[in-house]
Amino acid sequence: MIPTPHINVAEKGIIAETVLLPGDPLRAKFIAENYLDNPVQFNSVRNMYGYTGTYKGKKISVKGTGMGMPSIGIYSYELIHFYGVKNLIRIGSCGSLQKDVKVRDIVVGMAACTNSNYANQYNLPGTFAPVASWELLRKAVDIAGQKGIDVKVGNILSSDTFYDDDPEDWKKWARMGVLAVEMEAAALYMNAARAGVNALCILTVSDSLVSHEATTSEERQNSFTQMMDIALELA
């Protein structure tokens, strides 16, 4: 069934087997124009831009996912099941839940807790633990080490809410050792697990629920560049 309802690409080979997935479609455009050689736009449905180009001669795509689990759930499902994508690398931002995870740090999501009901669709007789691809995780950590980039690796929280009714809720996740909160990884990890493909989530810390610090996107540029260095090398 291609084109799909949300990606207007009629042929399979146009999207690479490895796709970088920022939440913001304009970030996808920026990455394509600044990091890829010969980028060609493949999607414009809902302005959720996607591009394919090359990096060091290797074909790679980058596509916006929008915010939240339903949105990344749709795009990652279509990329996997209709366009043959095998490696899905989310690159995004997160809020720190721990004192020693500072703004501008880089967090790699080894696993993703969630307050969402996304896993309900699988009718499991218990709860599911969404985890990153071990291959991608190990490679990302190796690449960061080789480049001298410090990364915090651990559990993250994919939340359905950015504005919580109880502003103290995050502390319950923090005391379970969860490093940071974002809004997409758990759905990505579940879609990848169900389909037997690889997914990883790499994040820069944009704000801290602990210290109440926040960074502007200009201030995040250096950590964004480091995150991109890891993601592109990984691809």
Write out the residues near ligand ADE by the rule CB under 6 A.
93-95, 159, 162, 181-183, 206-207
Q: Which is nearer to ligand ADE, 45 or 153 (CB)?
A: 153
First to last CA, the chain: 27
Q: Is 90 annotated as a binding residue?
A: yes
The CA radius of gyration of the chain, in Å to the nearest whole number, is 17
Q: Which is nearer to ligand ADE, 53 or 95 (CB)?
A: 95
Q: Is 135 annotated as a binding residue?
A: no
Q: Any idea of the CA torsion for 29, 35, 40, 45, to the nearest 10 degrees?
A: -20
- 169 classed as catalytic: no
Query: Which residue in 160, 164, 207, 229 is the catalytic one?
Result: 207
Those residues whose C-beta lies under 8 Å from the C-beta of residue 182, and which sit 6 or more positions away, are 92, 93, 94, 95, 109, 156, 157, 158, 159, 201, 203
By three-state DSSP, how is residue 132 classified? coil
Q: Is 23 annotated as a binding residue?
A: yes
Cβ(47)–Cβ(63) below 8 Å: no
* Closest distance to ligand ADE from the beta carbon of 107 (Å): 11
Q: Is 57 annotated as a binding residue?
A: no
**Binding residue ranges:** 6, 23, 27, 46, 90-93, 182-184, 206-207
Active site residues: 207
Residue positions forming the annotated binding site for a purine D-ribonucleoside? 6, 182-184, 206-207
